[in-house]
């Protein structure tokens, strides 16, 4: 269990990142447009917003684990999983 905490923080970030994947593209398009319009003067602002998105990914992922959203998501997947359906019949 040497890397447990690191893996937990990675899971927080990965979960938040997957939920914020679509806003990421809006940031990319806005950043490209802003850099073109200002001729490269706004790159610091775009990098700052990128860092904020990274922090938001972590915090949203952490909320998902702490609130039980992950368990609900897994249960939704189990509803359509044939193996789980069969195993629930066997152990009922």
Q: Quote the number of domains for the chain.
A: 1
Residue 72 lies in a domain: no
Q: 65 and 15 in contact (C-beta within 8 Å)? A: yes
Residue 18 lies in a domain: yes
Residue 37 lies in a domain: yes
Ramachandran assignment for 87, one of left (phi > 0), alpha (psi -120 to 50 degrees), beta (any other): alpha
The Cα–Cα gap between 39 and 73 comes to 44
Full-model pTM: 0.76
pLDDT digits (tens, 9 = 90+) for 56-68: 999 999 999 999 9
Residue 54 lies in a domain: yes
55 is in which domain, residue-wise?
A: 4-67
Number of Cβ atoms within 10 Å of the Cβ of 16 = 23
What is the residue-averaged pLDDT of the chain?
88
What does each C-alpha distance from 18 to 8, 21, 33, 41, 49 come to in angstroms? 15, 5, 24, 30, 18
């Amino acid at each position: 269990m040497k890397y447990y905490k690191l893996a937990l923080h990675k899971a927080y970030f990965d979960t938040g990142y997957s939920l914020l994947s679509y806003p990421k593209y809006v940031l990319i398009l806005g950043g490209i447009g802003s850099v073109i319009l200002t001729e490269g003067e706004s790159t610091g602002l775009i990098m700052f917003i990128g860092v904020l998105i990274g922090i938001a990914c972590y915090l949203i992922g952490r909320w998902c684990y702490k609130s039980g959203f992950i368990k609900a998501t897994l249960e939704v997947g189990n509803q359509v999983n044939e193996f789980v359906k069969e195993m629930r019949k066997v152990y009922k």
